Structure 1
Amino acid sequence: MRITLRLVALIMLCLSTVANASDYYVDVTNRTGYTIFYMYVSPASSKSWEEDVLGETVLENGETQRVTLTGYTNPYFDIRLVDQDNDSYTFWTIDVSTQDIVVTLDHLD
């Protein structure tokens, strides 16, 4: 009986975590004057960067790219962009539920 109750409790915990997962998006606009080649978006709690979300595309100066973030439990993300000269622009702990990003030279690391 104890094992069954523990199993039920574990299943309920897993289901509640899945039920709390949400989809978010952030619009990133490039106003650096340079082409952005890489964009990394990771949960703010992560210790490493996830894969490049641009893939084989680039973000030209003046363009906006929408990044959809699926299945996360909170809206706080770190965002790093790398341009054609290998310069980086990093935004820490961005609440993507309320904030989009406009990247300028003022954000250069």
Structure 2
Amino acid sequence: MIKKALALFAVLFLFSGHAAAGFDGYVEVTNNTGYDIYYLYVSHAKSDSWEEDVLDDDILPNGHTVRVNLRNAKSSIFDIRAKDEDGDTYTIWDLDVARHDVVFTLDDMD
């Protein structure tokens, strides 16, 4: 899981420009959907597309939590999308990760 968080850090750093002050923090994502999550995307709320899958080759089993580190981000507002083993997606829009973590449930299914 650590290498996935570092990969996200690298992607966010590349897209954050050379701003001296950016958001440094993390978001914890908990899977309470009843299904394993195979893909997890964390993108700036203003982004036109999803960033790389932060899970890479790992999965987020039901009932487990992963921490995604965010460094030098433009802000603390992110969109977060998960895709489960059946291909169902769960999306949280405009989440302030400085104030809230994510718990995906079936109620969040798109």
Which TM-score tier does this pair reach, normalised by the shorter chain? 0.7 to 0.9
- 1:97 is matched by which residue type in structure 2? A
- Specify the alignment match of 2:6 in structure 1: none
Matches within 5 A, 1:59-74: 59-74=60-75
- State the TM-score, normalized to the length of structure 1: 0.82
Per-residue CA distance 1:72-97 (angstroms, 9 max, x = gap)? 12100000000000000000000000
Partner in structure 2 of residue 44 of structure 1: 45
The answer for the alignment partner of 1:33 in structure 2 is 34
TM-score (norm 2): 0.82
Unaligned runs of 5+ in 2: 1-17
SS of structure 2 residue aligned to 1:52: coil
Measured in 1, the distance between the counterparts of 2:85 and 2:42 equals: 18
Q: Which amino acid aligns with 1:52?
A: D
CA deviations 1:29-79 (Å, max 9, x no partner) are 000010000000100000100000001110000000000111112100000
In the comparison of the two structures, how many residue pairs are matched?
93
Query: Which structure has the bigger radius of gyration?
Result: 1
Report the aligned-residue RMSD: 0.9
Q: Percent identity of the aligned residues?
A: 53
Read off the aligned partner of 1:27 and give its amino acid letter: E
1:24 aligns with 25
